[in-house]
A = this chain, B = another copy of it.
Amino acid sequence: MTKNGKPTKRQIILEEAAKLFKDKGYGGTSMRDIAGQVGMEAASMYNHIKSKDEILDNICFRISDVYISHLQEIEQQPLSFGEKIRALIRMHIQLMVEDGPAVSVANHDWKYLPAARLNDFTEARRRYEKGFAALIAAGIAAGEFQPVNSTVALFTILSSVRWIELWFKPGRSLSAEELEEHIITMLLNGLEKK
């Protein structure tokens, strides 16, 4: 947002592009498609963005930066490991609900980043996953968690929150807060009675 609260043309382009990339994929979306949503000709967009690649780059790294900074905050808070995992799950769900199209693009279309930036992105993701897995392993070592395989636990959690985009429609039967609680119950307590 600018000072007067009005989004810039650039921000509008990035937002509409994220929606289209989510629905039709990066390769399936043309600059003409984006221009149509924004309300200008494709050529005019080049006054606000450098290239189609740059749009994708901006979306992907904006999201990965949010993930990483939130992880660093949570790591430093004085919480039990169970509470830290819960906080991370809530962060994923909130980001998905608030910024869904961009999160979807960062999850699916990152592979179309130009080679040079692709390395940066996968490296950032690897660091995030490593930090998350370390929290799980520490929770196991502390006796809070069952002795599961921490890699399997990590990806089970990450996968579960990833697919919210595919079926969650906010304001239907479930609110975002109820969704958080249900997913956390399922992942931390399990399906079966003991």
- Chain A positions within 8 Å of B, measured between CB atoms, are 24-28, 82, 85, 108, 111-112, 136, 139, 143-146, 148-149, 151-153, 155-160, 162-164, 166-167, 174, 179, 182-183, 185-194
Contacts and interface: CB of A to CB of B under 8 A. Distances in A.
Contacts of A27: 25, 27-28
Contacts of A189: 146, 190, 192, 194
Nearest to A23: B111
Contact of A186 (B24, B153, B185): B153
A160 B156 contact: yes
Contacts of A144: 192-193
A146 to B, nearest CB: 6
Given A145-B192, A151-B167, A160-B160, 19 more contacts: A24-B111, A85-B191, A143-B193, A144-B192, A145-B191, A146-B189, A146-B190, A152-B174, A152-B186, A153-B186, A155-B164, A156-B187, A158-B163, A159-B159, A159-B160, A188-B192, A189-B190, A189-B192, A190-B191
Interface of A is mostly: helix
B191 A146 contact: yes
7 contacts: A25-B25, A27-B28, A149-B174, A152-B179, A156-B183, A162-B163, A188-B190
